[in-house]
């Protein structure tokens, strides 16, 4: 009969088997989402690389059921994860290699270009004693850096593994170049400069005692100078406010998780800004295959991250420009290498056809 499908060699009707696998995949994804939500709400899940990669990999395994062999997830993603883990540990060790930390370099560049330090200027005009609605946005944007690149990588892996490989190669190249910057030019971010005076960091220390003190105890605003906020109730010094927006939503645990991750990171890895570099890379990678809406989304995301980093005292504009520049270099160089390889493969194919003829 034309309406029936023949069973395969195992005796399972193909249509029924596909339906079962679809149900199984949906159940697995639902279970995955419930477990992730529970871990997040109970503060068990952090935004460290290990938990994030575990979430992505298990989610891809669930999404692969009935579509492709789930073991491909491990084959493709474990090497990627191992390289990232190696990067994380190496980045933390970079500060102990003896290179002097630059405390005033980016301050001087920003001040020379803009006439003011943009972080100081923004906090003077936008910061209040309590977090405002826009800090909800900036806190969400800042936190998204720890999730969005890996979510995009997972989406690309499900849709087009060739595009996924291209993205991963560029992503890792950017991280390696960033690591070189951290080693050769360790530099303090604005929030740290606001806690220390010129005398305290004259020898270029990586972890001076002042970095753990409150900026309220530093005379004259530290290396960043005096802060004169428009709101008289706001604190007259530069503050690290990248996670303060969660207080406005009364979600203190999210702020705690972010700040724990910040405390474990290399505190003098400001040059270049990989937050800026990675978000720019996302916009560049998705540009060619995107619509005007998706292009606007990714470019807007990179711009929002740039504003967040400067306003929240995580980076100077100088750091952002270096991060954007590295992303552009990675795209250009790897793009040329890929085109040359494709051209050679095409020539070899043509030569093979000619010999057969």
Per residue in 268-293, pLDDT tens? 788 999 999 999 999 999 998 888 99
Q: Residue 3 pLDDT more than 90? A: no
Tell me what pLDDT residue 5 has.
45
Tell me what pLDDT residue 36 has.
86
Q: Residue 326 pLDDT more than 70? A: yes
Tell me what pLDDT residue 10 has.
38
Share of the chain above pLDDT 90, in %: 46
Q: Residue 266 pLDDT more than 80? A: no
Higher pLDDT, 302 or 270: 302
Q: Which of 149-153, 248-252, 325-329 has the highest mean pLDDT?
A: 325-329
pTM of the complete model: 0.85
Residues 251-277 have a mean pLDDT of: 73
Q: Whose CA is closest to 156, among 145, 165, 146?
A: 165
| Full 3-state SS string of the chain | CCCCCCECCCCCEHHHHHHHHHHHHHHHHHHHHHHHHHHHHCCCCCCCHHHHHHHHHHHHHHHHCCCCCCHHHHHHHHHHHHHHHHHHHHHHHHCCCCCCCECCHHHHHHHHHHCCCHHHHHHHHHCCCCCCHHHHHHHHHHHHCCCHHHHHHHHHHHHCHHHHHHHHHHHHHHHHHHHHHHHHCCECCHHHHCCCCCCCCCCCCCCCHHHHCCHHHCHHHHHHCCCCCCCCCCCCCCCCCCCCHHHHCCCHHHHHHHHHHHHHCCCCECCCCHHHHHHHHHHHHHHCCCCHHHHHHHHHHHHHHHHHHHHCCCCCHHHHHHHHHHHHHHHHHHHHHHHHHHHHHHHHHHHHHHHHC
Q: Mean pLDDT over all residues of the chain?
A: 85
CB within 8 A of 283, min separation 6: which ones? Answer: 295, 298, 299, 301, 302
Summarize pLDDT for 182-219 with one digit per residue, the tens.
888 889 999 999 999 999 998 888 888 888 888 888 87
């Amino acid at each position: 009969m034309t309406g029936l499908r023949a069973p395969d060699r195992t005796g399972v009707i193909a249509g029924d088997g596909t339906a079962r696998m679809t149900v199984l995949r949906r159940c697995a994804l639902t279970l995955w989402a419930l477990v992730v939500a529970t871990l997040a709400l109970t503060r068990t899940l952090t935004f460290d690389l290990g938990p994030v990669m575990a979430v992505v990999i298990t989610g891809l395994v669930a999404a692969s059921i009935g579509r492709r062999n789930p073991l491909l997830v491990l084959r493709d993603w474990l090497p990627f994860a191992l390289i990232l883990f190696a990067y994380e540990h190496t980045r933390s060790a970079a500060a102990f290699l003896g290179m002097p930390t630059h405390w005033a370099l980016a301050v001087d560049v920003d001040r020379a270009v803009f006439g003011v330090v943009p972080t100081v200027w923004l906090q003077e005009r936008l910061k209040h004693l309590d977090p405002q609605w826009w800090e909800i946005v900036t806190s969400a944007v800042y936190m998204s850096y720890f999730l969005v690149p890996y979510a995009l990588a997972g989406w690309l892996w499900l849709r087009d593994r060739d595009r996924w490989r291209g993205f991963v190669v560029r992503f890792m190249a950017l991280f390696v170049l960033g690591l070189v910057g951290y080693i050769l030019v360790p530099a303090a971010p604005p929030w740290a400069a606001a806690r220390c005076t010129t005398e305290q960091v004259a020898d270029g220390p990586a972890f001076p005692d002042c970095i753990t003190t409150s900026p309220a105890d530093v005379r004259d605003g530290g290396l960043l100078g005096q802060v004169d906020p428009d709101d008289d109730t706001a604190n007259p010094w530069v503050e690290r406010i990248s996670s303060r927006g969660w207080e406005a939503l009364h979600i203190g645990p999210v702020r705690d998780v972010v700040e724990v991750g910040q405390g474990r990171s290399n505190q003098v890895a400001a040059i270049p800004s990989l937050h800026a570099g990675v978000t720019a890379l996302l916009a560049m990678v998705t540009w060619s295959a995107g619509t005007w809406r998706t292009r606007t989304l990714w470019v807007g995301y990179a711009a929002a991250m740039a504003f967040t980093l400067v306003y929240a005292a995580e980076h100077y504009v100088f750091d952002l420009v270096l991060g954007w520049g590295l992303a552009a270099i990675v795209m250009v160089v790897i793009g040329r290498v890929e085109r040359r390889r494709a051209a050679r493969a095409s020539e070899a194919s043509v030569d093979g056809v000619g010999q057969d003829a």
